[in-house]
Structures are given as C-alpha cells and as structure tokens.
Chains A and B, each alone.
Chain A
Amino acid sequence: MNVKKTPLHEMHVTAGAKMGEFAGYDMPLFYPLGVMKEHVHTRVQAGLFDISHMVHVLIAGPGAADLIARICPYDAAGQSVGQARYTFMLTPDAGIIDDLIVTRLGDERYLIVANAGCAAKDVTHISAASESFDAKVLLLPRGFLALQGPAAAAVLADHFDVAKMTFMSGIEPQDSWFVSRTGYTGEDGFEIAMPVPDCVEFAGKLVADERVEWIGLGARDSLRLEAGLPLYGQDLSEDITPHEAGLLWAIPKELRAGGGFIGAEALEKCIQDGRKRMRVGLLPNGRPVRGGTELQDADGHKIGLVTSGGYGPTLEAPMALALVDVEAADGPIFADLRGKQIPMNRTKPPFVPHNYKR
C-alpha cells in the first residue's frame, strides 16, 4: 500500500521532523524540539498540529438531520447551528464504528470530522444509511490544522474573529473554511479546515508566530492521554460499546432506551444487563506500561488490558487507560510486565485537568 502524504508534508520535512506512518499517511512524529518540549509548549503556549489525515464528510439536504439522527445517538434536529458535538457511529451490536465531531453548519448541512484510520468504513456506513434519506454525502478534500494551547486564541485572533467562540462551537469564516473551538489535547484551542491550496500558506503564517511551535504525533498522543481522551483503534473499537468505554454521557438520556439510531436496541440491552468491562484510568507504579499489556488481580488472574499507556510530561508520571472486568475494578490491579507485577493505582481521568474555554 502506498503511504499517503498530507499537503503539508514538505513543510514537516523542512522543519526537521522525524516522519513515520500513521493511518496510511507519512506523518511527523516529532520535530527537533522533541516530544517532551513539544508537549509542554502546547500546555503553556500554543502548538500547531497537521491533522490533514482526518476526514471531512458533509451531509447536506432536507433529510440531513434525520440521517445524522439515524447514524449517531443524539438529537441532531435539536442541535443548534454552530454547535459541535462529540458522538460516534454504532454497529447494530452497539460496537463503536468510529468516534466523531459533528457540527451543524446550517439548517440542512452537517459536517462530520472522522478518524483517518476509519475513513473507508465510515464512508461506506454513512453512504449505505443515506439511501433511506434525502441527503447527499460529500467527502471534502481539506487541509486541516489544530492550534492548541492557552495562547491559541490570541494567535488565531490575528486571522479570524474567534473572541465570541466558546468550546464546542464551529463557524465557516469564509467559503470552504471551517473553524471550531475544539481539539484533542485538553487545552483551549481550535481546529481549522481549509481548501488544500490554501493550507501551506496559512500554516506558514501560524508557525511564524513566535508563540507557535510545530507539534508531532508523539506529543499529540501524550497530550490526549493526559486529557483522558480515548483514541480510536486503541481505546475504542467495534468490540467495545459506549457503555463499556464510559461514553454514555455523549448519549442523551431520553435516547438510551427506545432510540431510533443504528445500534439502539443493542445499546439499551447493554445498559439493562449491565456492563462486564469498564474503562478506568490507571497510574502505573514507577514505569510506563504500554497498550496491550495484560492486567491481573493479586492472584495473577487476567482481569483486563491496558488500551493506551505512556508517560505524561505534564503529569510527570506514567499513566494508562484500560478496560477491566467490572467485578475486579475496585480491587488491586497489576500490570504483567514479562512476569513481573507492576502495581497500578486506579484514578479517574483526566490525568491533567482540562483547560477548555466554556
């Protein structure tokens, strides 16, 4: 398979990035600054991320709200124009196909931002569902940047009127551009989508600001993990329900029973029967514990798996997200590292407090 490049690829190489494959794209893993300093810079100033690998799908037409309400478990018709929402698509068994941000752009227009690694199956799923509705499904080619950190709003104010925007709002400042006050770091910040021909110039303007540094996928991962945000493909999959993943908060109470979305019946049954596994946050004692590591009780019986694990540069300690058996979740938890048991202390994510502009 050919590895794809984002429109900003050459800028990363010029900036000295170490590149590596992620979700089919050759992406910057870290720049000369290094993961640790990139992470901290994002928490104290502003970090610029190339997220052009992510997918933009426009749903447009008189049936747009009904289509969204069919594929995502929330009241799309009741969503205000300009409001962005965290949601997901479910299989008929209530497994998570992908997690998404859906913004209502207009009465009959919704923008879905989806994960790169799920692009093909997402489009197939949405297109199949759309056949019953009067709505078009359009894949938008876009350059896509995230500007995250406490200085992000001041930096972006030189380019757009963002002062009135609050967390989880999205606007179209000009044709084919989209700016939302969203992100994946736990910090205040923005995601900015634009036509591909415009993005090299715009990224150049942002990174020319002395408060802004390029940030690679390495720090993107440590930032999102400190913020307790799940990553699709690690913490979320089609084998995991929103109930198990601790994401029921994203489904309105009135839709948790008797909803009309795909997966509603299975989800209702999950909630009635109770979950066998649950998402927890863990603080490993002394050393990082990586995704895929088996978790055990004191007797060495398997009770779960680490889904994401790493080191938190702001936390200054290792941290992990895991799926554990509900029955064992309140007891002692150990990670099995080549036969050695590492104690894991349970905690409630986020590991570092969020800093959103509400």
Chain B
Amino acid sequence: MSKTYFTDEHEWLTVDGDVATVGITNHAQEQLGDLVFVELPEVGTKLEKGDDGIVVESVKAASDVYAPASGEVLEVNEALAGDASIVNAGAESDGWLYKMKLSDPSELEALMDADGYKKLID
C-alpha cells in the first residue's frame, strides 16, 4: 500500500515500504515550462533532506530540485536523459526522477498530503 506526500518545494514522493519514488509536481512543471535537460543523481548517492544537486532545466532557466527526504538513490529514470519533456507530459507519473531508500521515514511526517498541497498552490 503506497502513500504520496508533497513538499512545499513542489516535489512529490510516493512511498512503498521504505522505498520512495521522487518527482516534481505537475504544478512545478507548469511553472517551469518546457524542460530540455534533467541532471539526475548517480545511483548509490546518499542524499540528506534538503540537498540540491538535481537540476531541471527549461529553455530559459535552471532550477534546483531538493531532496525531499534523506536516503540512498536506488534507481534513476534513464528515459529522461534522452527526453526531458517526459516530465512535462507526466510529472507525477512517467516523469518521475529517481527512487530512493529512505533512511529516516519519520521525516515524512512533516510533509503534506495531496489536499494540503492543493491548498498551498491554489
């Protein structure tokens, strides 16, 4: 049974056990516009909550994506290396960025659910 959380930095993470799939929200991709490049972390990278180092680039600007929780990167979405527009087309589905093994699931308690996030962006 998975559960999806949202951050006020416009990231989402869907958690299944201690594995989280991370991406940017549909609202975030709308604000950024057409993406042309996504810099992904390397598998095995240990991220601390709030780390930058992941970058999504639109035609005009580069934006940091912060790690929404601490943990180790298990897998990255290789499809994005060839076509960053996948994030525009499905930010909260096919356009996921990476999967991580959470080192401190209690960090999730501070995050929002879908309703909370909807209130933030409305």
Contacts and interface: CB of A to CB of B under 8 A. Distances in A.
A53 B36 CA distance: 28
Interface stretch (A31-39, A83-91, A162-170): A31-39
Interface in B82-111: 85, 88
B31 interface: yes
Given A35-B34, A311-B37, A219 B59 contact: yes
A288 interface: yes
A35 B60 contact: yes
Contacts of B36: 36, 288, 311, 318
B31 A36 contact: no
A310 B62 CA distance: 9
A30 interface: yes
B57 interface: yes
A287 interface: yes
Interface residues of B, number: 15
Contacts of A313: 59
Interface string A201-230: 000000000000000001101100000000
Contact of B60 (A287, A310, A338): A310
Q: For chain B, what secondary structure do more than half of its interface residues adopt (helix, strand, loop), or is it mixed? A: mixed
B33 A222 contact: no
A36 B62 contact: no
A125 interface: no
B37 A290 contact: no
B59 A310 contact: yes
A290 B39 CA distance: 14
B58 interface: yes
B61 interface: yes
A36 B57 contact: no
B83 to A, nearest CB: 12
A256 interface: no
27 contacts: A18-B31, A29-B60, A30-B33, A34-B34, A34-B88, A35-B33, A35-B59, A35-B60, A36-B34, A36-B36, A36-B59, A39-B59, A218-B33, A218-B59, A221-B59, A288-B36, A288-B57, A288-B62, A290-B61, A310-B60, A311-B36, A311-B37, A311-B57, A311-B59, A318-B36, A318-B37, A338-B53
